[in-house]
Amino acid sequence: MSGRDVVVTGIGLVSCAGEGLAAHLAALASGAPPRTDAETFAPYPVHPAPPLTLDGQIPKKSDQRQMEAWQRLGVYAAGLALDSAGCKDDAAFKANLHLVVAAGGGERDYAVDGAILTGLREASDAGAYLNERLQNDLRPTLFLAQLSNLLAGNIAIVHGVTGASRTFMGEEAAGIDALRIAQARIASNQIDAMLVGGSYSAERPDVMVIHEMGGFLRKPDYRPVFERAGQGEDGFILGSCAAFLVLEAADAAAARGARALARIDAVASDRTRRAAGSVAASLAALWGRAGIGRADAVISGATGVAPITDEERAALGQLAPGAKLTALGDLIGHGLEVAAPFGAALAAGLVAETGLSEVAVTTVGHRRGEGVVRVLAA
């Protein structure tokens, strides 16, 4: 790709596999099934967040209390990434560090939601009833506390990252486009460094309801992503997770003495109209746009939703014959906006620690959005 080389200098990961890159590489190497809670939200399994000592990355109890779980996970992972990059205590570096976050909204007021849904059953005019209840029952302060851009705000407050920030929403597509924008801005010499990533809290009744209404959830137990087929057995298992990467121009990283873990050579995204064969065609086009050669490994963000997951697997067999294929969902579950950043971070770790020269990362959204990332040795 043209422009400056973009390298990964910091990685922060949190999931059911633990925290930090080493824990995730160990979990990947073990091949063991991910930690799964099949009881709390039965019949829907979930991959829960690990126990975290929040004080290590969010020192103030007041900051911890004002954040919901998804924000705590994200702020924690962002701190791990800054530590990994060796810039946690560099105020001047962080003052110029730009931030791109991919995240959805926060938790809902379950009592209000329940009361509204119950009342709708008896309402003579459902539309008028709903409008009235939404205007009078929802607390503005609750709504404002759940805005996705608050994750960026809390990262700025807690970690002192005070460059410009932007937040992307839109499920899996948000994660791949956050990476694409961050990589492109550095490559084109607009900025020297970016902190990019996202977070997701899966342990919430409201998200279970939302995705079950669409028929997207796997139940009642864990099964490897590419083995989920047949009547009622496909779908994703949500996972609480967060991933952040510090991306820098290679020359800027070298100038400050930072170790380049890997190079993000290209990020390509698409939004094809879904039909039979469309996912395979989209991946083939993205593969070419990203300039992927003979990848040593592929980290797939496949959801397990039929038929697109089977179509992706068949396409990858053609695009990357002989490459080791890993489903990210078999390590951390599905984190929607976090899938692409997490896959890219894990790929960078594999390149840095195992000697692989090229790893491809894919993300095919459960409803829309496709993406490919090319990760190379630095």
Residues 128 and 241 in one domain: no
Query: Is the CA virtual torsion 66, 35, 312, 299 positive or negative?
Result: positive
Report the pLDDT value the prediction gives residue 134, as an integer from 0 to 100. 82
Spatial separation of the C-alpha atoms in residues 4 and 360, rounded to whole Å: 20
Model confidence band, residue 2 (pLDDT cutoffs 50, 70, 90)? low
Q: Is the pLDDT of residue 198 over 70?
A: yes
In a domain, 1, yes or no: no
Whichever domain contains 272, its CATH number is 3.40.47.10
H or E element that contains 114: helix 110-120
The reported pTM is 0.93
Mean pLDDT calculated for residue range 265-294: 96
Q: Which domain holds residue 120?
A: 110-144
Model confidence band, residue 206 (pLDDT cutoffs 50, 70, 90)? confident
Mean pLDDT calculated for residue range 276-293: 96
What is the count of structural domains for the chain? 2
Residues 121 and 174 in one domain: no
Q: Is the pLDDT of residue 1 over 60?
A: no
Residues 269 and 137 in one domain: no
CB within 8 Å of 131: residues ≥ 6 apart: none
- 113-172, pLDDT tens digit by residue? 888 889 999 999 999 999 998 888 876 655 555 678 889 999 999 999 999 999 999 899
Q: What average pLDDT is seen over the chain? A: 94
Mean pLDDT calculated for residue range 167-196: 96
Residues 15 and 65 in one domain: yes
Helix 110-120 vs helix 126-137: crossing angle, to nearest 10:
160
Residues 133 and 72 in one domain: no
